[in-house]
A and B are shown apart, each in its own frame.
Chain A
Amino acid sequence: MLVPMISVIVYSFQESAILRPDTRFAGLKHYAAVLSDPVFRSSLLHTLYFTVMSVIFHMGIGLSFALMLNSDRIHPWLRSGLRVLYILPWLFTAVIIAVIWRLILEPNGVVNSMLLAINVIDSKIEWFSDPDTALHAVTVANIWAGYPLFMVSLLAGLQGIPKDLYEAANIDGANGFQKLVYITIPQLMPIIVSIALLDLIWTMQVFPLIWMTTGGGPIYATEVLSTYTYKLAFAQYDMSQAAASSVIILLISLCMTVFYIKHQKAR
């Protein structure tokens, strides 16, 4: 793993790598080219939006599903059945998630016809090919696909909260909401933070979902760092510039990894 990382750094400083090898030292030329490219900057913003929204919703949905499934108001039998069903989105690989959502969000697909039927929209929306909706559409698909990691981890965390904390709160006359805010959430905090960091790192690396739904289009509307880099390397065959771009991605990712490892050690 160290060897490829070093070689990608070396490539990024060469005039031209791999396909038309020209190993002369190019200095920071490729980095300057990437950083001054407006498409790179918008890719950075799209990645940020996609990642932050995904993580927030994964957290929100994961936590509420975990709390609902953990409630003793429902039968244990129903609880374990629902748990199995709620995890299902996790089982699908990104390519299949992309295909499913393309079918659902087809202009003639089921979402549009439902929205038309209840008069929310008055014409068919091309979710993935309209620049105004495409980024939201891929984000929704990713939110759907990724919440179970939070849910499963938080469910495990909920089992680990000592029961006497709640008994003490009952004696003090706390209501359900107070118990949630003052006991449950603080107790889950270490898990929430570590999963959120991991989810940030992993979501930032998104490729197949976007590649298969919009391919970064329309007109760069959903271009993210990984699709931008991929196109540099395998559509424009500019391996050195792509290497520079991927080193930048690596640096961002490393910063978050440092946070993650520090947090894990502190636990």
Chain B
Amino acid sequence: MRVSKQRKDRLLTAALYLGLLVGLLFACFPIFWMLSSSFKSNTEIFALPPTILPALFTLEAYSAIFADGQKLRYFFNSYLVAFAVTILTVFIALLTAYGFSRFQFFGKAGLNTMIISTQTIPPITLLIPFFGMVVSYGIYDTYWALILTYMAFTLPYAILLMTGYLNTLPRDLDEAVAVDGGTSWTALWRVIVPVSLPGIVATSVYTFLLCWNEFLFALTLTKTTDMRTVPIGIQLLMGQHAFEWNEMMAMSVLGSLPLMIVYLFAQKYFLAGMTAGSVK
């Protein structure tokens, strides 16, 4: 009786490890394949039978990208837009959230529900009116087109995140400043900002990733290759010279770097930013 139970236990453990292995292959094989292919030459990518690791390790795909001003421009554009939106969003969200969490005003209760609903509006529905607005303001094919559009997407949720965070801070903090003769403004900058850094980081991560990954609006609101961001750059690469696969993979690796770095160094904030809206 005991022996059979032990055997059953061992079988279960073996099954678990097998399941974990299958899961690992499923999760990681495509990523591994991207990495491995980015270090191959374009002819080796379709070698038969396929080589798991590059037989001839080469950085030619990466050096091709770094030698190409146009491709570097995609990266520059992506970073510029993402950083600009992140800084503006966090700044505005912080001020608004401080107002929401510290002062009472009419209509505050319905606001949360409204902000959550904006998260679920299909982007394609907003694409046409945003296109109309961008064209009529004369900012089509400029950085402003992307920056202002992205802010319309990031701000509502950033405000919600920050308000949620500021609500957890005790009001005694503000009152202490008031006792010392400070205004709400000094309370915000001297006391609230330093202690709410975790909330600010989570909001920044959420905003940055949203901008970095955005495709539909970047595709529609810009036209010249000088204004394109990395996702569109990859798409153009795909159409242009039919299938420089190793370069496309290298570009994808480089395009995933910011996410990888944030993920590895700030897992907690990253997950907070990514699950934003779902685990509330």
Question: How many A residues touch the partner, as a band?
Answer: 35 or more
Chain A residue nearest to B229 (CB atoms) is A95
**Across the interface, which residues of B come within 8 angstroms of A261, CB to CB?**
113, 116-117
B234, A96: Cβ atoms under 8 Å? yes
Question: How long is the Cα–Cα vector from A260 to B118 in the complex, in angstroms?
Answer: 13
| Contact code string A220-258 (vs B, CB < 8 Å = 1, else 0) | 000001100110011000010011001101100110110
Question: How long is the Cα–Cα vector from A108 to B13 in the complex, in angstroms?
Answer: 38
From 117 to 152 in chain A, residues with beta carbon under 8 angstroms from any chain B beta carbon are 117, 144, 149, 152
B50, A110: Cβ atoms under 8 Å? yes
Question: How long is the Cα–Cα vector from A96 to B259 in the complex, in angstroms?
Answer: 12
Chain B residue nearest to A114 (CB atoms) is B50
B213, A86: Cβ atoms under 8 Å? no
Q: 5 A-B Cβ contacts within 8 A?
A: A7-B132, A96-B255, A99-B252, A153-B275, A211-B235
In whole Å, how far is B246's beta carbon from the nearest beta carbon of chain A?
Answer: 10
In whole Å, how far is B127's beta carbon from the nearest beta carbon of chain A?
Answer: 7
B123, A205: Cβ atoms under 8 Å? yes
Would you call A85 an interface residue if the criterion is a C-beta within 8 Å of the partner chain's C-beta atoms?
yes
A71 with B16: in contact, given A89-B27, A103-B33, A195-B278 (CB under 8 Å)? Answer: yes
A246 with B130: in contact, given A71-B16, A100-B33, A198-B277 (CB under 8 Å)? Answer: no
A104 with B33: in contact, given A68-B19, A149-B278 (CB under 8 Å)? Answer: yes
A212, B116: Cβ atoms under 8 Å? no
**Across the interface, which residues of B come within 8 angstroms of A71, CB to CB?**
16
**Across the interface, which residues of A come within 8 angstroms of B104, CB to CB?**
none
A152, B275: Cβ atoms under 8 Å? yes
Would you call A92 an interface residue if the criterion is a C-beta within 8 Å of the partner chain's C-beta atoms?
yes
Question: How long is the Cα–Cα vector from A194 to B119 in the complex, in angstroms?
Answer: 14
A91 with B259: in contact, given A17-B132, A246-B122 (CB under 8 Å)? Answer: yes
Task: Give chain B's interface secondary structure class.
Answer: helix
> Which residues does A use to contact B, with CB under 8 Å?
1, 3-5, 7-8, 11, 17-18, 61, 64-65, 68, 71, 73-74, 82, 84-96, 99-104, 106, 108-110, 113, 117, 144, 149, 152-153, 156, 176, 191, 194-195, 198, 201-202, 204-205, 207-208, 211-212, 225-226, 229-230, 233-234, 239, 242-243, 246-247, 249-250, 253-254, 256-257, 260-261, 264
Task: Give chain A's interface secondary structure class.
Answer: helix
Would you call B240 an interface residue if the criterion is a C-beta within 8 Å of the partner chain's C-beta atoms?
no
Question: How long is the Cα–Cα vector from A247 to B127 in the complex, in angstroms?
Answer: 11
| Contact code string B134-163 (vs A, CB < 8 Å = 1, else 0) | 010000000000000000100010000000
B213, A93: Cβ atoms under 8 Å? yes
A194, B116: Cβ atoms under 8 Å? no
Question: How long is the Cα–Cα vector from A109 to B50 in the complex, in angstroms?
Answer: 8
| Contact code string B240-280 (vs A, CB < 8 Å = 1, else 0) | 00000100110010011001100100010001001101111
Would you call B133 an interface residue if the criterion is a C-beta within 8 Å of the partner chain's C-beta atoms?
yes
B263, A144: Cβ atoms under 8 Å? no
Chain A residue nearest to B156 (CB atoms) is A1
Chain B residue nearest to A242 (CB atoms) is B128
A85, B127: Cβ atoms under 8 Å? no
**Across the interface, which residues of B come within 8 angstroms of A207, CB to CB?**
123-124, 215-216
